[in-house]
Structure formats: structure tokens, C-alpha cells
Structure 1
């Protein structure tokens, strides 16, 4: 795995702190060949049903009521945690539980209750997630609880925030302004999962550092047949802007209870990789599934096998425009072409991570070994496709640093003696070069 996601919908700060400490301890191990970034996923304005003394079995055609009165949990009525729920729904709306595991047709409503008919029955449990098909709740994207969790992330120096139910770019600007005022270097990933976000996709993604295709709620608020088309579109937009993109939800859902995936799930991972996703994500499979390690191994194996079939270095339509830094982009693209032609890995030295992200954007066939003298940058680069970030103190002498880097790679078995590698220097902050120059060398290990 490359990123550990903390789902703030569950657990408390104490339990999440234990996970953070565990990841940091793991990252300190000197014999590890990869580093793990930490992503804090905000709960967001979720609408949930209340507590029930025991699960209720509901059948098609049965009447059932959702109420904004607190503490109700009977065989035919349950509370909802959102006071404006009644105002947000109308007769004829379809109400979905847990992304469609159960569905209810709204028949009528009063000042405090919504009366429904069960369309797709099942077992209703406590605190289930509720969506209205085609509508988003009129709640702020960042709630009071989210701000507390965001501050917790600042205090514990997480690498990314995944912000739930982002509807417009203003939310991203608000969070980034807060992070800047707090002196926090944390990147913002927007979760595209509400109907309201779709008309604002371009401005939302432009304001962010990347996006997550959160297919569960997206498929609940919009017709499910739209989800694969939106996944492809969101990946395309992120790729055109040079932003990281994650595909999430139900990727290996069957492995929560079974030791092997369905063939459709394997194809789902492969499609996300071929469409250009930087990362694919597991949720319940590793949070509470029976086979968490097997699920990670399946996802890893399928992604690697699929990546091996993808031809790198295709000429992008917006070459030199994605990052608003024409010279660096052109250099990264041609370094990629050179690396692919010679069949070499790429070694890049970076203080900001910028050149490593650029190289990842062009998807070289070989691994991008990104050496950095900043552990925060090392962890952040863990999200980007094809990048293996390595921490190393830089010396004042370029040759010594080159030699040290190749020694590290050889010791860890990442390159072999006699193998050629491409050494790349470019980007925003020169290390051993003049400001206006970029250079690439091919060296034999």
C-alpha cells in the first residue's frame, strides 16, 4: 500500500492517532522500500438514520416512516439526524439506504416526518447512510465536526485531506486559506460524490490538488449508469490538469467476506488503471473485511500487471499547458520519451516534488525514483503513479549525491549493476544546476 486513509466517519481521535503513530513507525524502518502517506477523509454532511434496538426486516410494499424527531426507533419509524430532511424531499422522490442496498418511494410528508413505501426491502440497521436520488442535502460541505478533525490533521501532520461532498470551489479555497494561516503543508483531495458537484467539476478540480471518484454516493445521487462515464470524465479532467486522481468504492467488495474477488472486480481495477488513475482505493475490504491482506495483494498484483501493458510516452493534447510551466513540462515529457526509448528507470532529485509529479504525469514505462531531502515531500509523492520516493540528505557536490543515490538503489535491489538509468535535473528549484538550465544524463550503475 502507498496511502493509509483515516475515515473520520468512524472511530475517534484517539483511535486514529494510534494508526498515525503506527504508520509513522512503519515509515521509520530503514529496510522498507516504500513510504506510506496519511490521508484524513472528512465525514462531511452525511445524512444518517438513527439508532435501532435491533435490525428491522422490511419487505416490498410495506409502509415506513423517517422522522426528524430524535430518539425514535420502532418497527415502522426511525429518526434521521438532519433537521431539514423533510424540506429536502418531495413525494415521488426515491430514498436510498447505503447507496441503494434498500430503496423507498416517498409517498407524503408532514412537518416532521416523511412517509415512504418500501421498493427494495432488506435489513435496516442503525446509523445507515441516506441519499435522495438526484439531490444533495443542503448542508455545508465542511461541518463543525470536520473542522475539529481538520485541526487534528494539522496537529498530526497528515499529508492529504479528502474532503467529502464538495459542491463548489469555494469550499476548497476556504480550507486552503485555513491551512495557509495555520502554516500547514497539507494537500487537498476533493471527493466527487454529490449531484451538485458535477456542474462545477472544472472549477472544483482546478482549486484542488487532486480528486477522488467516490462512486458509492455518486451512484446513489445520480443514475447508476452514469457512474462509469463520470469516472472516465473525472480522470480525464484530472490528467489534463496534472492533478492526482483516485478511484474508490466497491473495488473488491466481495473480498469483505470471500478470499477471492469476482472477475468483474478484477476488470474494474484494470479499467481504472488503464483510464489513468494514480491510485485505486480499498475501504470496507481492509477496514472490517475478513481478508484485508489478500485484498491489498490482489489490488497490487492487478494494477502492476495492467500497468505493464500500457505504452508510455504518448503525446498529450495539452503538452506544456497542464502545470503552467512550459519549459519544465517539455523537459519532463522528453525525458520520459528518452527513458522509454532506452528502457531505463528515471532518477530525479527534488526538493519540492514538482519534477517528480511532472514525470509521473507523462507516465514513463520505468519507475521514477524520486530522491528528496524533505520527508514531507517523500510521503506526499507516495500517491503519484509510478513514483518511488526515497529520502536522502543532499550533499553540496552533485557527483557525490548521484553516487549515493545509485548505491541506495543497488543496495535495495531496485537496480542492478551494469543497468542504465536516466538522471534528471529540472523543475522549479535548482539543486546543482544554474537556474535557467535543465539536464538529463544516462549513467551505468
Structure 2
């Protein structure tokens, strides 16, 4: 059985060589994240070169995901000593000009806009949520009295959030714009946008891409409660979604996070948009060759929830066992998917809910593949839309997505069970392209049944929606003139 879930590996110092990336590919990773919060142009340029070289050598589609930093909010460093707080300790939070007014522990945050609307009783999370506070009093403008609800150290330059509040900062920073320019020049395939709160944020990034005459797919990272409230609008605008559980877990009560994950995944499945689950999936494997039982279950549950991709961050960027981690994640995927197909949990039938005929045909193709025990589904998809709809049906069969557009091919790589491929350009007929692919593809043997879907353009039209579903049998070479439909 082919593995359907896609594994994303973050590249970093631990995987900065050709040999290390090659091991990740051989272990099962086909999508590579470049985290622009860390590293510089020289590193990213080297990684892109290695990935493209491996694409040429293996014949696989390897997708490069550029992850923009976004407006990460950090406290500032006034040169004050690091201090420790105990539960119940009161500290002051304010802009740098307030420090001289305070006797005792002081945390500096020099972004005045963030103080607007903060009231007594509001929560504050510091150091990626390791230390939590409650606002007990607004002393004056840009100066708050906080009370710690747990204990910990308070060093400078740490992330700070105000859970539940809409952040007034622009989601696309000057650094993001400079990094995007680097990504466009290097030729990344997909761009992930951090701290998305509304659909307009996505449109702003798309407009920035226009400056480079590019229109790459955009993945919206959901890390704010505002994004959950605006999820339908964000889904209509974004090409895909990442459940970024690190920062999202700071915004929500941790007990709410699993249900939020399930709701986001369900919405993405219904919209036919690929969804990534990220953060601390196999974190213990940064330093250990073995994962914990809880981590193993976490990965399996993300797959059962309906994720298209599961992502590794520190595990492959700085971990001691990157190849082993990818291989173990792949093994979890095999076991989980086998259970899904055995129990029928993978089956999705939404065809009756669709008004679009081409969407209904895609669902019909998935059902036909299941009923006939077909070897695979092969679709010619100009935009990749049909491949994503087929993926949302969660068929047992792999989905070969043919497209002449390399941007489309690299993005369909993020969808469940999709294997991107380039058709022969010398053939104009989309259906014939798909059939020739079946005849020439070594993955199919004589007698194999394949379900073919295609959008067959009418004369004078270059594009159309899917309007052909065909049951196709691959016959021997001496029967080429007889090959075709049943």
C-alpha cells in the first residue's frame, strides 16, 4: 500500500548537507520547509540547489515551502538582569520609558499599539507560554501590573502574546517582504504566511507577489483566535492551511487545542484545501532515537482527523536523528492508513452536496475506483483543483495528478495521496495524455484497471472543467490498438 499522508521536513543545521537531505527524501519526505525565522540567504540558496539536484536525480517532485516569519512579538532588552517569578509574584509590563518609574521586576514591550484594549483580568503569555500572567491593573497608559499564575524565569527578547486579542500589527513585515524577494529569486514553490487573522492578509501577500510577476500558492498559518473566527473567509482566499499548534496553543486554553485542530481539518477537507498539522509532533526525537507513546498517538490522530501533511520542525532542523524521525513518522502513517481503509474511516462521500458537475465527477471517480478495485486514479488537472477534490475523498488508490504547470505540480504534492507528474506536451488531447501516461508508467502492469479523469476542452477553448471519467485497462504492447475503455 502506498503511503498517502505527506511528510514535511524542516531543513536546518542538522540537515544542511546533500547527504542529509537525500536521506530525508529516501526516508519519505517530499516537502521541505525553509524557516525564514532562522538562517540567511546563503543557507537557503544552498538548500534550494540541493533539493533541485535531488529532483533531477530521483525524478520525484520535491516541494520547497518558504515559511515567512510574520510579526513575532518579543520583549526588548534594557540590559536589566534576568529575574525569576513565583506564582503570585507581581511584575510590571510597559514601554521602555516607563522603566525608571518602576521599583521591582519590569518587562519591557516597546510596541504601544499592543496596549490598546488591554483590561484587568486579561491573560498574558511570555516565553512561548512557559510563564502566564493575568493583568491585575492598568496603572497608566502603556504600563500594566501583572500577576504570575505559575513560576519561571523572565529573560529579555522572549515572545509575548495577549491570548484572545486581535493583534493590530501588519501580518507582512518589512523582513517578510525582503525574505519574499529572496524566495521569489531562489524559486520556492509555496509560501506560508504566519499569524494570518483575516482574508485580507492573504490578499496582501498575493499583491506583494505581483511585484515579482509570480502567483504562488499561499498556506495560511493559523496561530491566532481571530483566524479561527474568520476561518471560512480565510479558506476561500488561501490555497492551504497550517494548524500551527505552537502559537495557537498560546492563544487557546490547551484543553481547547485538540478540538480546534479537528474543526480546522474538517473545514479544510470539506473545502478541498490541503491542511498541515505542525509543532512538536515527535519532539522527543530531537535528542532520542525513540518517540514517546503520546507523540506516536498524536501523529496517528492527526492522520485520522484528516490531515494531508504532518510536519517536522526541530526534529529535522536541529535534531540528532532526522532520518530516523522521518522513517518512524512514515511507519506510523502506514499503520494508521491501513486501519483507516480497513475500518472504512477513510471513506468520504460528499458528492450529493456538490452543485458543480466537475466536482461531482471527481467524487464519482473516487467511488468508481473503490468499487472496481482500480490500481490508481489518473487525472489531468490544469489547475490542480480536481486532484485536490479527489484527495479530499480519501481514496485507497494513489492519485496521479498530471499538469504541465510546474507550480501546480509542486502544490498538488501537499495533498493526500497525490503523486504529481508531467504529461507529454506533444499531445493536445487531455484524456489521451492521461491514457498515454498509464501506458508508459512502469507503476502499472498489464491488466491493471485505472480510473482516468480529464477536462476535455472544446474546440477554440484552452481550458475546461473535468467532464470525462473513464475506466481504463492497461493491455499488453501487442494490443495497443485494443487498449481503452470497458
TM category, shorter: 0.7 to 0.9
- What are the equivalent positions in structure 2 for 1:27-426 lying under 5 Å apart? 27-29=55-57, 31-32=58-59, 34-51=60-77, 57-69=84-96, 76-80=105-109, 82-87=111-116, 89-108=118-137, 109-180=139-210, 182-310=212-340, 311=344, 312-316=346-350, 319-321=353-355, 326-343=356-373, 344-396=375-427, 405-406=437-438, 409-410=441-442, 414-415=443-444, 417-418=445-446, 420-426=448-454
* Contact preservation (8 Å) 1:372, 1:393: no
Per-residue CA shift, 1:399-422, capped at 9, x if unaligned?
985676346542xxx44x345131
Aligned to 2:482: none
**Does structure 1 residue 25 correspond to structure 2 residue 57?**
no
* Distance in 2, Cα, partners of 1:125 & 1:258: 28
More relative contact order, 1 or 2 (CA 8 Å, 6+ apart)? 2
Aligned to 2:470: 440
Q: Which moved more, 1:370-379 or 1:34-43?
A: 370-379
* Contact preservation (8 Å) 1:36, 1:379: yes
* Contact preservation (8 Å) 1:352, 1:429: no
Residue 58 (structure 1) shift: 4.1
Residue 226 (structure 1) shift: 1.8
Q: Out of 12, 30, 35, which is 1:7 matched to?
A: 35
Residue 185 (structure 1) shift: 2.6
In structure 2, relative to structure 1, the CA distance for the partners of 1:435 and 1:100 (3 Å cut) is closer
Per-residue CA shift, 1:361-384, capped at 9, x if unaligned?
222111112233333222111101
* Contact preservation (8 Å) 1:189, 1:211: yes
* Distance in 2, Cα, partners of 1:188 & 1:113: 38
Structure 2 unaligned blocks of 5 or more: 1-28, 476-486
* Distance in 1, Cα, partners of 2:63 & 2:463: 32
Q: Which moved more, 1:82-91 or 1:224-233?
A: 82-91
CA RMSD in angstroms comes to 3.2
Residue 274 (structure 1) shift: 1.5
In structure 2, relative to structure 1, the CA distance for the partners of 1:162 and 1:88 (3 Å cut) is farther
In structure 2, relative to structure 1, the CA distance for the partners of 1:400 and 1:196 (3 Å cut) is closer
Q: Tell me the number of residue pairs that the alignment of Structure 1 and Structure 2 aligns.
A: 434
* Distance in 2, Cα, partners of 1:389 & 1:296: 21
* Distance in 2, Cα, partners of 1:291 & 1:105: 39
* Contact preservation (8 Å) 2:84, 2:152: yes
Q: Which moved more, 1:417-426 or 1:228-237?
A: 417-426
* Distance in 2, Cα, partners of 1:47 & 1:177: 24
Residue 203 (structure 1) shift: 1.0
* Distance in 2, Cα, partners of 1:405 & 1:277: 29
- TM-score for both structures, normalised by structure 1: 0.86
Residue 46 (structure 1) shift: 1.4
* Distance in 2, Cα, partners of 1:182 & 1:428: 32
* Distance in 1, Cα, partners of 2:458 & 2:288: 51
Structure 1 unaligned blocks of 5 or more: none
Residue 177 (structure 1) shift: 3.4
* Distance in 2, Cα, partners of 1:152 & 1:136: 29
* Distance in 1, Cα, partners of 2:453 & 2:303: 28
* Contact preservation (8 Å) 2:163, 2:250: yes
